[in-house]
Amino acid sequence: MKLEYVIYIDAKPEKVWEALVSPEGTKAAFFGSQLKSSFEVGAPFEYVGPGSEGDATVHVYGNIQAYEPGKKLAYLEHPGPSYRERHAELTSVVTFELEEAGTTTKLTLVNDEWSENHPAADNAKGAWPMVISSIKTWCETGGTLDFGW
């Protein structure tokens, strides 16, 4: 399965990049979680934030596959340990690519290379539109979206 989303954001790539990697941006766009990593290719990463294990719940983790500031972020991810018993066996690849498009930024998100029978694949179909909508809102207004949870 390949999930692919394209959205145009009324902000420079630097601002969109900030939404993808900075503590403030990821907290706003990724349901209160922060992306923690050194961002070197091969380095580990975690999205950590409020969840079933408190404020330090690991939602997803894995390794950075590509990191080109302002242009591309890709990682191999696993669901957090509190989500799936076989979390280390379950993988997918997430790739964010940014391109300048006039005075806007074209954000392309691809989530693919799912391990066989990955139970979170269907959930991702609903979650990614919320994430990219949150990225767009934060970049354009500085605000966050309230999904009523």
Domain ranges for the chain: 3-141
Largest CA distance in the chain: 46
pLDDT for res 142: 95
pLDDT for res 149: 65
pLDDT for res 60: 95
pLDDT for res 70: 96
- In the chain the first and final C-alpha atoms are separated, in Å, by 28
pLDDT for res 148: 79
Token pair, residue 106, equals 């074209």
pTM above 0.85, yes or no: yes
3-state secondary structure of 5: strand
pLDDT for res 84: 86
**Positions of the chain with pLDDT under 50:** none
Distance CA 105, CA 129 (A): 17
Query: CATH fold of 3-141, please?
Result: Alpha-D-Glucose-1,6-Bisphosphate; Chain A, domain 4 (3.30.530)
* Closest to 30 in 3D by CA, of 114, 147, 112: 147
